[in-house]
Structure 1
Amino acid sequence: MNKILKWIPQLLAGARITILLTLCSVVAGLIISIFLALGTLSKSKLIRNFCKGYVFFFRGTPLLMQLYFVYYGLPQISRALTINNQFLAAFIAFGLNSSAYCCEIIRAAIQSIDKGQFEAGKVLGLNYFQTMRLVILPQSVRRLIPPVGNEFIMMLKDASLVSLIALADITKVTRSIQSSTASSMVYIPAMILYLIITAVFTFVFHVLEKKHSIYE
């Protein structure tokens, strides 16, 4: 028991990295995905195909390969693209990946809004972007919360991949402790910590979903 208690500070330090990376990546992904979603619905074939190609690429290739490419591959293209900071490299890879998944979430939410809302915006003299910003997107938020919550939890667990580029998240810290102590018991508090973090954020999204429920 005393041994496990000694591991807690290190695991909590790793948890801070895991949570911060997940939060930053999903928030960045959501911001980028708004433009991607609007692009996939654009009347311009060029913009529409570019956005669809982007989504297809990042959803169709493994996140681990994307992470390796950003951290190891970009420097081989040009030294100017070298990213020495593991957190920044992980943030870029995870943010781009998350944006592709969030794009599909937002696109589906937008298309679920009745077309009459677009017509109402035109009647009020709003252009396309004003209608999206003032009418469609605010209504879409209610439909976004559950799938975005799922994306967040998935990204939280996928964050364990960053241990492979030596970023000290929960998984990296756990493996380091296991290697130095030759004790696999460290996996027990590590998994419990993952469960606690997942439970907390699941509860947060549940509260948000209930607060903005269309049935309330």
Structure 2
Amino acid sequence: MKLSMILSQLSTGMAGTISIFVLTLVFSLPLGLLIAFGRMSKNRIVSGIFRLYISLMRGTPLMLQLMVVYFGPFYLFGMNIGKWRFPAIITGFALNYGAYFAEIYRSGIVSMDRGQYEAAKLLGYSKGQTFVRIILPQVVKRILPAITNEVITLVKDTSLAFSISYVEMFTIAKQIAAAKTTMVPFVAAGIFYYIFNFVVAWVMELLEKKFSYYH
């Protein structure tokens, strides 16, 4: 099978891979911040709930979570899940990565010097203004390396969508390899993932430089 034909078939799955990646970040990054706030709540019940959530998301396989999110509505409510596959993938990925991002956010927030909060209060800033204008930019600068690691992992984890029969690039590569008895599709897919991660790392490096003025 010609390489051009293999690349043509793989390209149909690349769109799915990129969609999973982008939408997961769109939902999981803000979700992670909300979870972090819940985890740091002074209310022990609220804090305990979010602590348990984070523990479950980080302590169980993402593949299992995708299956639960996808098949759960059918087994629990008898819902027709024919059109639920892609939304289930985004939901599963967002819930999982939201937990990881939450701990990264939390580590950055608790590392901030309490004196900055007190100084902002003396200057007349509210708690919300203090966090958004003073604390958050510094937190982002501190956690960018850890966020970068998770984002790079996400690129590779998109291949787990095959577990609920979603056709993304890795799924197509496996199908072609099995049908044509060749390793070329896997090599091509590996090159794509590498280039994708290279671009992601480059973008995150630019962001780190943008926030470099926060010390």
Percent of matched pairs sharing the same residue: 34
Is 1:120 paired with 2:119? yes
Structure 1 match to 2:14:
15
Segment drifting more, 73-82 vs 200-209: 73-82
Deviation string, structure 1 residues 20-75 (Cα, Å, up to 9, x no partner): 21121122111111111111222111221111111111011110110010112331
Structure 1 residue 121, shift from structure 2 partner: 2.5
Structure 1 match to 2:191:
192
Structure 1 match to 2:60:
61
CA distance in 2, matches of 1:90, 1:36: 20
Structure 1 match to 2:177:
178
Change (3 A) 1:147 1:58: same
CA distance in 2, matches of 1:134, 1:31: 17
Structure 1 segments unaligned to the other structure (5+ residues): none
What letter is aligned with 1:129?
G
Contact 1:29/1:102 (CA < 8 Å) preserved in 2?
yes
Structure 2 segments unaligned to the other structure (5+ residues): none
Structure 1 residue 13, shift from structure 2 partner: 2.2
Structure 1 residue 215, shift from structure 2 partner: 7.3
Segment drifting more, 123-132 vs 23-32: 123-132
What letter is aligned with 1:94?
F
What letter is aligned with 1:50?
I
Change (3 A) 1:81 1:126: farther
Structure 1 residue 83, shift from structure 2 partner: 6.3
Contact 1:37/1:106 (CA < 8 Å) preserved in 2?
yes
Change (3 A) 1:5 1:96: same
What letter is aligned with 1:120?
A
Q: Give TM-score scaled by structure 2 length.
A: 0.92
RMSD: 1.9
CA distance in 2, matches of 1:118, 1:102: 23
Structure 2 match to 1:24:
23
Counting only pairs closer than 5 Å after superposition, residues 50-129 of structure 1 correspond to structure 2 as 50-80=49-79, 82=81, 84-129=83-128
Aligned pair count reads: 215
Contact 2:29/2:101 (CA < 8 Å) preserved in 1?
yes
Segment drifting more, 158-167 vs 123-132: 123-132
Q: Give TM-score scaled by structure 1 length.
A: 0.91
What letter is aligned with 1:19?
I
CA distance in 2, matches of 1:144, 1:19: 24
Structure 1 match to 2:129:
130
Contact 2:38/2:46 (CA < 8 Å) preserved in 1?
yes
Structure 1 residue 164, shift from structure 2 partner: 2.0
What letter is aligned with 1:187?
F
